[in-house]
Amino acid sequence: MPYRQIAFPPYSEVDVQLTSFTDYGLRALIYMASLPEGRMTSISEVTEVYGVSRNHMVKIINQLSRAGYVMAVRGKNGGIRLGKPASLIRIGDVVRDLEPLSLVNCSSEFCHITPACRLKQALSKAVNSFLTELDNYTLADLVEENTPLYKLLLVE
């Protein structure tokens, strides 16, 4: 019996789906990087801009803070801001720090072909290529001189 041909979309149309955690983590960083230098924001402000739950954003900001991407300042004049210059924040690093990158569960308990399977190696190479490409971009690359972005975020 012949195999059915599968039509794959062209390379440029293939989507990689990040978790919402990573997606909103990147969006929060983009928002902070779009603000005038030194301006603090708040978790509430970021959640309002993107329409995400405060509890979810608190977890994201905590992880970004632990990784050094965000600095949280307590007190009356406190808030959150980037923990380092946007030009030093590589997008690939952020994704590595936020995204669980195990694409398949390769344990013999779940899959009987694990001892002979080469899929995990192929997927690992693909993920590394994806992250290497993202390493070519910094947060500054995404926001600097991006007037349409500033208008959408209502940043002055």
Annotated binding site for [2Fe-2S] cluster: 106, 111, 117
Q: How many other CB atoms are found less than 10 A from the CB of residue 64?
A: 25
Residue positions forming the annotated binding site: 106, 111, 117
Where helices occur in the chain by DSSP H, the ranges are 20-34, 43-50, 54-66, 91-98, 119-134, 139-143, 147-153
SS3 41: strand
CA–CA dist 25, 63 (Å, integer): 9
